[in-house]
Amino acid sequence: MKFADWDVKGFDRKAAVELCRHGINPLVSVFLASRGISEPSAADEFLRADLSDIHDPFLMLDMDKAVERVDGAISRGEHIAVYGDYDVDGMTASALVAGYLRSRGATCEIYIPGRGEEGYGVNRAALDTLLVEGISLVVTVDCGITAVAEAEHAKEIGIDLVITDHHECKHESIPDAIAVINPKRPGCPYPNKTLSGVGVAFKLVCALERGRTGLEELLETYGDYVAIGTIADIMPVVGENRVLIRRGLSVLNKQRRPGLRCLVAEACNNRSVINSTAIGFTLAPRLNAAGRMGRTYLSVDVLMTGDEDEALRLTSELCELNAQRRLLETEIYNQALQLLKDSAPAEDGPIVCSSRGWHQGVLGIVAARVAEQSMFPSVMIGIDANGVGRGSCRSFGAFRMHSALLTCDDILLNYGGHEMAAGLTIREDNIEELRRRLIGYYRENIKTPPVPTMRLDFEVDRPELLRMENVAQLEKCEPFGNGFMPPCLCFRNVRLAAIKSVGDGAHCRMKVEKDGRKFDCIFFSATPETVGVSAGDMIDIAFGPQVNEFRGFKNVQLHVFDVRRHPRR
């Protein structure tokens, strides 16, 4: 059992029946009722994801200034650089803006700093290099909101900056640039504060196209980029974000871009429908691998290539690079666990772990795994030969990571990010002080340590509800993600018919039986030994239902989240 408690929410049966009478699929009706969407009109609106939820881009502060400067640069034939970031959000934003500017006839290049050599964000050396190359305008995407000193340097050397970002502002001050577009900047009236970096970049393109192209056409052209970047950056899939992702998934499934088409074919076993889960667990990790392993432009090329042969070559390289990333990640994760095991008993609170030689590119994934395993916020820091550590931070529970880092401002060389994930640079001799302060912040703000609780939508008491046609209809509730998680259901008192290890012992397959119906199950990162149950046992099982597709054969499969023995009365 992975969770100490299960919290089964249940649903309003009367509301579910009413939705079903309204023509909505039975399983979808029960699911929507469990999420509080109980009125037929509200359900229709939710399932439709109407463009009326898309806000006017000119509600963002400085959008008019940005449009004036970029339009002027295009008309004057200036050399423009799109300055991005090495994660999927930054790469999709870079591809989107650069692709758009080139479609307008602009001379445009993409610059993405090296994760290991330069680190995150705008830096002076990069601006100097761009100046030598004849760049007069730099448009940042997914970065720049903390680049106060760098913006001053840009002014000094004669480069104009248009900043588009979505990260938290460190302080009240913002960079002195031609335009600073960020829904989180102080005083910005834009309603959606949870846009991704590619979402903000898309808003800039919408503003630039005002009077030329309608929103529908722009979403048809760039929606796949927006969906991939927003899901990969774990932005809430509610309101405007939900509509953008929904439309983007529709575009992605048309597979017009050769690079994405080849990536889907190689990574997703040619599955017929690409949804948010496929992006989050299959496409995004592979695109991220390039940035993590120091070859960011490989993923950008995959996103942008129009050549079929090049797309095949690039995606093959990318998938091989992802395999290398996974090996490196496992190695560092095991080293981190050993360091924690060998150290003195830790105080309850954030984990700060550091070592020389750790590859910077995989520390974010390792930090996330350590946080999940320990149930505490985690900071993983790799220290270079000069005694400078670069770290990735992941939160857990209600801990606000970015706010905690604000209290450490005086000992950090640089930092930025969100409340759930952030990055930092720190001198080695300040790491212990960072640990002390984060633990202090935790104790002041987290009065009750989180109990590992599985939040479940409802118990399935009639297994026929999980017929293939019903489970397939859950796709209509897409997208799922942060703020609107996929369905999490449970069976109680079912018989475990079979259980065995698969995937070189890393995972296990099960078959369960309920009222004469049998279901295939997959439980990732679990073994029969760790699950602690045997064939013939009566168990409770928490799962997400899905349509599994393999070699043209489809069946209902339960993606297992937790298993426990059914309590005897």
Q: Give 60's DSSP letter.
A: S
Report the mean per-residue pLDDT for the chain. 92
Alpha-carbon span 362 to 352, nearest angstrom: 16
Mean pLDDT (whole number) for 271-276: 82
Confidence of residue 345 (pLDDT cuts 50, 70, 90): low
Residue 188, CB-side half-sphere exposure with 13 Å CA sphere: 27
CATH 2.40.50.460 boundaries in the chain: 455-569
Name the percent of the chain in helix, strand, coil, to the closest 5.
Answer: 45, 20, 35
Fold of 57-214: inorganic pyrophosphatase (n-terminal core) (3.90.1640)
The CATH class for the domain spanning 343-445 reads alpha beta
Instruction: Give the pLDDT confidence of 422-464 residue by residue, as tens digits.
Output: 999 999 999 999 999 999 999 999 877 777 788 999 999 999 9
Evaluate if residue 82 carries a pLDDT over 90. Answer: yes
Helix (H, G, I), strand (E, B) or coil at 81: strand
Residue 350 phi, psi dihedral angles, 5° rounding: -55, 145
Confidence of residue 420 (pLDDT cuts 50, 70, 90): confident
Least confident stretch, 232-241, 242-251, 320-329, 414-423 = 414-423
> Closest by alpha carbon to 538, among 490, 496, 476?
496
455-569 under CATH 2.40.50.460, yes or no: yes
Instruction: Give the pLDDT confidence of 103-126 residue by residue, as tens digits.
Output: 999 999 999 998 777 778 899 999
Which two tokens mark 27?
Answer: 């399983």
Q: Give 106's DSSP letter.
A: -
The answer to whether the Cα torsion of 102, 104, 108, 111 is positive or negative is: negative
Please report the pLDDT score of residue 397 as a whole number.
Answer: 84
Q: How long, in residues, is the chain?
A: 569
> Closest by alpha carbon to 532, among 556, 502, 558, 508?
508
Confidence of residue 362 (pLDDT cuts 50, 70, 90): very high
Q: Burial code of 363-391, b = ≥16 C-beta within 10 A, e = fewer?
A: bbbbbbbbbeebebbbbbbbbeeeeebbb
